Amino acid sequence: MTAAVTAPGLGEVVFVGTGFSLVTQTTPEALGAMRRADKLFHVVAEPAAAVWIKSLNPTAESLALLYREGKPRGETYREMVGRILEHVHRGEKVCVALYGHPTIGCDPTQMVLALGRDEGFAVRILPAISSDACLYADLGIDPMVDGIQAYEASVFVQRRPRIDTRTPIVLWQIGFIGESSIQFSGRANKPGVTALARRLTAYYGKDHKVAIYQASWYPFLPSTVIWTDIRSLPETATAAVATLFVPARRRPATSRTAGSPRPRRAGAQARPPGVRRPY
């Protein structure tokens, strides 16, 4: 994706994603962009990933160092954009590597994209593996069967969109509900999760099973999947970065003959067991 033809004297920016699992989910296209950049910035969640990125390009610099405990995230994002633009205005080719997908839950990408349109420098975005893509694989979900509703969890709680209980829901960052700043403890905001559980209860009841999901950072470790009921969500959802998967609510079997089995579509998902996969 290109925002504009680069104006004379200006550089360009390419945003790439590194996925979640260390090294293994980064595409050859993203690797090439990181290696060729005049300046490489990154925001990754694991120190090992930062070391690996530095080995690709000696100009690599972490923008994550701009975060501070309690500092508003909006302020940090503006500082990140400022660092990127310093090099763009020098006429350099800048690459910004971000864990996951570079347009999902990443304000700096959208901010630079808008500035590129205004100022005339080119912005490219290369696709990458996102947390929901990992979730589909680990839970064996085909979003084309019943569709998918997806929201950032704070948006879901605060804006209260109308939802369809026949369609599964993906909710990102359930532990950050109501948080405007970074909390390095990594713990979920329990009042926010409680508000989320209250909203879900209104649609599904307290006994509906949901999955708390975290993609693995390492190829030799499985992802974390915890099945629980909505009633227990505030106590079970302890990680700030977790994603929540809410399966569709089963419809009552009023249209079938009593005692007859429900016909099953090829590839349909069974009801999830209430077990926890090892991390």
Considering the candidates 67, 73, 203, 249, report the single residue annotated as catalytic.
73
All residues at 6 or more sequence positions from 230 whose CB lies less than 8 Å from its CB, including other chains: 197, 200, 201, 204, 205, 206, 207, 208, 210
Whether 149 contacts 159, CB under 8 Å: no
Q: End-to-end CA distance of the chain, in Å? A: 36
H/E stretch holding 123 reads strand 122-125
Helix (H, G, I), strand (E, B) or coil at 209: strand
Cα 100 from chain centroid (whole Å)? 6
All residues at 6 or more sequence positions from 210 whose CB lies less than 8 Å from its CB, including other chains: 200, 227, 228, 229, 230, 233, 244, 245, 246, 247
Q: Decide if 73 is catalytic.
A: yes
Considering the candidates 36, 90, 99, 204, report the single residue annotated as catalytic.
99
Whether 174 contacts 188, CB under 8 Å: yes
Q: Which of 9, 23, 18 is nearest to 41 (CA)?
A: 18
Q: Decide if 213 is catalytic.
A: no
Considering the candidates 35, 67, 77, 159, report the single residue annotated as catalytic.
77
User: Which is it for the CA torsion 154, 157, 158, 162, positive or negative?
Assistant: positive
Q: Decide if 203 is catalytic.
A: no
20 Rama sector, left if φ>0, alpha if ψ -120 to 50, beta otherwise: alpha
Residues annotated as part of the active site: 73, 77, 99
